[in-house]
Amino acid sequence: MAAAVVGLAGAVICVLLLVEPDWGSLRARLAQRAARVLAVERAREDLAQAGMPWLPAEAWIALRVGGSVVAGLVSYLAFGVAVLGLVGCLATYHLLGLAMEHRRRRRQLERQQALLEAIRYGASVMARGGNATEMLMALARSGPRLARSIFSEVADLSDDETRFALPDRVAALRDRLAEPLFDDLALALILHWRRGAKLVPALEAIAQEWQESVQLQRDARVMRAGVEASVLVLTILPIVFLVSLQLLASQLLQPFRSPIGQVVLGLAVLWMVLGYRVMQQMTQAPREERLRLRGTQP
């Protein structure tokens, strides 16, 4: 048996060498495919918009998946039902995603409101005869509180090369923030520096367009609050009910430990998940698409 396993492994290695002799490109392709499957870029963008750029996307994915697996194992050990273990795993994974999405939307709305105020303030500075560099420095010194830290990263007054490095700093900050509103602002600034485009009309147009978007988001958030609460209750209530049943009358769960009982329970869970997905689609807010630039170098 051992010789057969070793021979099979050797044959597989030989086939791989014949099909793909370049291991470096194979690893790169596998890494890219894994990143697409795990949605690493989407997770990185969510973390940046949630104000958590210090947490690597890979670590967040591992934490979410690992926590879900642990919750599933605990559920299986507690109830002795494989379907409930799977439900515990999926529910934990989904609740962690809901928590991140709630934080992302809240922080993004606050940041966009601060950036809108900063853009209006910057347009007034430019209208009084200032230039783009002076505008960024004024925003870093006395702009809106939430936006002040953003612009202080761009216009570091202690750096002697600030005026020459501003386009690159804006581009780097744009990638780090992953904020659609700042994408528009960065594009306007870079076109102004690189091509001499007029900045004040661009800032006024950005402020007007995004003010409507932010107001719509705020109104939609109020309208979705009740449905989102129902979705959360539908996720947590079955777990609370099962835990209470296990503690108070565990013999009532005995029929679900048989194969037929697990099939019936699985069908019931599947039906509940389908209804839950319909409600979730009803409350899911549209996501602002980011402006993708090919490059910012001249």
**Count of CB atoms situated within 10 Å of the CB of 224:** 16
The rounded distance, in Å, linking the Cα atoms of 177 and 100 is 16
8 Å CB contact between 72 and 92 = yes
Q: What is the DSSP string of 230-258?
A: HHHHHHHHHHHHHHHHHHH-GGGGGGGGS
Q: What is the pLDDT of the chain when averaged over all its residues?
A: 77
pLDDT-based confidence at residue 60 (cuts at 50, 70, 90): very high
8 Å CB contact between 144 and 114 = yes
Q: Give start and end residues of each alpha helix (H) in the chain.
A: 2-19, 23-38, 40-49, 57-79, 82-127, 132-142, 145-154, 162-177, 180-195, 200-248, 259-283
pLDDT-based confidence at residue 297 (cuts at 50, 70, 90): very low
Read off the pLDDT of residues 41-55 as tens digits, 9 standing for 90 and up: 888 888 988 888 888
pLDDT surpasses 50 at 24: yes
pLDDT-based confidence at residue 252 (cuts at 50, 70, 90): confident
Angstrom CA distances, 160 to 46, 157, 165, 166, stand at 34, 8, 10, 11
Task: Name the residue type at position 280.
Answer: Q
pTM of the model: 0.74
**pLDDT value at residue 73:** 92
Read off the pLDDT of residues 110-167 as tens digits, 9 standing for 90 and up: 898 999 998 988 888 887 877 888 888 888 888 888 888 888 877 765 445 555 677 7
The rounded distance, in Å, linking the Cα atoms of 191 and 167 is 9
**Mean pLDDT calculated for residue range 197-201:** 84
8 Å CB contact between 150 and 170 = no
pLDDT surpasses 60 at 28: no
